[in-house]
Amino acid sequence: MSQTVVSPTTHSSRSADDRHKARVAWFDQITIDDVASVGGKNASLGEMYRNLSDAGVRVPNGFATTAEAFSEFLSRNDLNQRIEGILGGWNGEDVDDLARRTREIRSLILGSDLPAELVVELIEAYRSLSRQAGIANVEVAVRSSATAEDLPEASFAGQQETFLMIHGEDEVMDAVRRCFASLYTARAVSYRRHMRIGEEEIALSAGIQRMVRSDLASSGVIFTLDTDSGFRDVVYLTGAWGFGENIVQGRVIPDGFYVHKPRLRDGFVPLVGKTVGPKELRMVYDDQANKVVNERTPAVDRERLCLADDEVLSLARWSVAIEEYYSNVRGTPTPMDIEWAKDGRTGELFIVQARPETVHSRKTAAQVMRVFRMDERGAVLATGLAIGDSITTGVARTIADPKDMNRLKEGEILVTEITDPDWEPILKRAGGLITERGGRTSHAAIIARELGIPAIVGAQGAIHAVPSGTSVTVSCAEGEAGYVYDGVLDFSVEEVDAANLPSTRTDVMVNLGDPSLAYKTAMLPSRGIGLARMEFIFASHVGVHPLALTRPEMLSPEDRVLVEQATVGYDDPTEFLVDKVALGVGTLAAAFWPRPVILRFSDFKTNEYAHLLGGEVFEPKEPNPMLGWRGASRYYHPDYRDGFELEIKAVRRVREQFGLTNLKVMIPFCRTPEEGRKVVAVMAENGLVQGVNGLEIYVMAEIPSNVLEAEEFAAIFDGFSIGSNDLTQLTLGVDRDSESVAQLFDERSAAVKRACAMVIAVARTHGRKVGICGQAPSDYPDFAEFLVQEGIDSISVTPDVIAKTVKIVAEVEGR
């Protein structure tokens, strides 16, 4: 059966009077200005249906009841004063009393008749939609849309009901009545009271939309920003098998995708993030029982992504078009919260809902950033996905059912399996939230962001692992993972006001290897990444030795099985490494675009490489790995070259397919100029050519030979990055890991400073860039002063001391 968009001219043959009924309006008649009549969801669907088809955005056709129809329904049944009287007695605090009162209101509504005129118009519209589909009693979704919802300042996430797989005139009438009743759930009334929206200010519209059979395929949620940091240059898309309610309610952890908007607009394919979620359940339609049910997702579907790459990119392009359109309409940047669905019968993608995002859209770039940092660690009780980037402490309180919400005291940490809108009255009391299920776009995550409380979702086993009544620390400030620590631990908060930081000649950059911190860190006032460590991505995203993928015949049978398990879903096991590295590096480059990102190729020592899966068979046992087979010496060596070539392939993907040409590369532990030339040659032979598309190749200045032969190295490379740790160790002959000589390790020693000065001078003479990637400039203001006086171009430090370092550098430059 064809599932195509009906032309907006479908109803043009009707008279003007027919096409402008007061009680029912078709999507092709609705604009964004009709919010007061048909609610936020339906107004946005109409606006997209009318104006975004040229951008390829596909919206299922349908129609909506108007606010006038709802008002007429209430007045015809004498419900207004009765509802006012029932709610008038609520004190605003007693949630049990509110639940009783709202049940009484819903009972009144469900027992009332729809006005005859509305019934006639609904039947006429439903029959017309069925004729368009060529099906008697076409399947539809009936969605509630309140006239005060989906505003930039209030999401009303899940407040009213949606009914799926409705077919037949009687079912449509019943679903519309149930939509009307859902305006008066306890959660909806409580939410309106919390947002200070009066009952007299709101009405409800029921949108009747051609059903997209995503139960036979997949569906999900899209945000046109990173939901945790508010970073606006990405589209974040989630998806799972079946109808999308499981994602919205947090019953499953979905697949996740990130697409970089600026390079997408430029025609590249910057799909920089892909994560397979477990997708434990899928919501489907049971034909025999004539109802929507949840079932376990088959194992094969849990292990694969629910969308192909080209489908993700299509949805991302639509999302960018929707965001741009609404930003123009509203005259201000408007990040969007969008729902999508794929029809399993036709393979077509659809947008079924769009509304303004309600948390980060209220923030301005000039706002002060608060940077949280754990100052001590304790026993980890549970871990899951971090929502937000803050830290809190409090008493954990396990509650299984919202009926027991009075047990939660103000500021306590709520621990539960899952939340839905029924929990919202209690969430306003919570100081933090921990749920065993859910993903980044689940109800719990959305409301936690809106309330400004840290949350950890998908923390499996948390109910048993976090004893109710015990004090805990909830940390969402350590990257993608959130941690529940036992006890009250120390943490600190730094306020960073970028607008008031002084400007500097010297670039202050950041050291960063963890892609999960990229979007948050990119919002700090740095001028790029001065050191991105490849080995962090190897350890956290790959975990397999590169040669175990290029030479699997050398593995033991046991390791071969483990490698096959790790690379499931990849026809070519080497593509596993290239894909994982490209996604990790691509995330860093996308976050900081167009600022430079300097990636250091892998610099594991042999003992560290051996710890990767399958690594022991390929790595020699060296008495001193620090001075052994590491860095540049591996890249051209026949015993490792094919492993390095995979890194090159990943870098090429980031620069050429993703379009992120701000990515530069750096060679570590390059002992001689001849070694440098060999590495550059290997890169060129594999298509990564110095100077092409602006590619710059840097070298670490961390060995005395880099200093003494700096002019020779300057003839090969585009710049230097002083590695102060190794340079100090090797200049002073001090093992930095030895407690016996630890007191002798000092970057400020005369010999080390002289070495730094020599490299800086040569770089300046030869027009090469030179920076330093180490903590010393932040720890020792006098060392920063020395570097600035010598004319260093950049100083790269950890994210937590960016603001401090900028101030130090500005003060030195001022003197």
Spell out the residues 6+ positions from residue 653 whose beta carbon is closer than 8 angstroms to its own: 578, 582, 586
Q: Determine how β-strand 471-475 pairs with β-strand 218-223.
A: unpaired
Q: Are 207 and 327 in contact (CB under 8 A)?
A: no
Q: How many residues does the chain have?
A: 815
Rounded Cα distance between 621 and 604, Å, is 14
Q: Are 752 and 724 in contact (CB under 8 A)?
A: yes
Q: Give me the DSSP letters along 615-661.
A: -TTT----S-GGGSS-THHHHTSTTTHHHHHHHHHHHHIIIIIS--T
One-letter identity of residue 324: E
Token code pair at residue 492: 């600190």
Residue written as token pair 């679903």: 175
Residue written as token pair 């949350």: 455
Q: Are 22 and 69 in contact (CB under 8 A)?
A: yes
One-letter identity of residue 517: L
443 is catalytic: yes
Helix or strand or coil: residue 138?
coil
**Catalytic annotation, pick one of 260, 443, 541, 545:** 443
CA dihedral of 317, 322, 325, 329, whole degrees rounded to 10 = -170
**Catalytic annotation, pick one of 179, 476, 756, 773:** 773
Reduce the secondary structure of 297-358 to three states and give it as a string: CCHHHHCCCCCCHHHHHHHHHHHHHHHHHHHHHHCCCCCEEEEEEECCCCCCEEEEEEEECC
Compute φ and ψ for 108, nearest 5 degrees.
-65, -45
Compute φ and ψ for 46, nearest 5 degrees.
-65, -45
Helix or strand or coil: residue 701?
strand
Rounded Cα distance between 242 and 282, Å, is 5
Eight-class DSSP state of 543: -
Q: Are 656 and 692 in contact (CB under 8 A)?
A: no
Rounded Cα distance between 395 and 468, Å, is 8
Partners of 414 in the beta sheet?
397, 433
Rounded Cα distance between 740 and 601, Å, is 32
194 is catalytic: no
One-letter identity of residue 807: K
Which residues are marked as active site? 443, 773
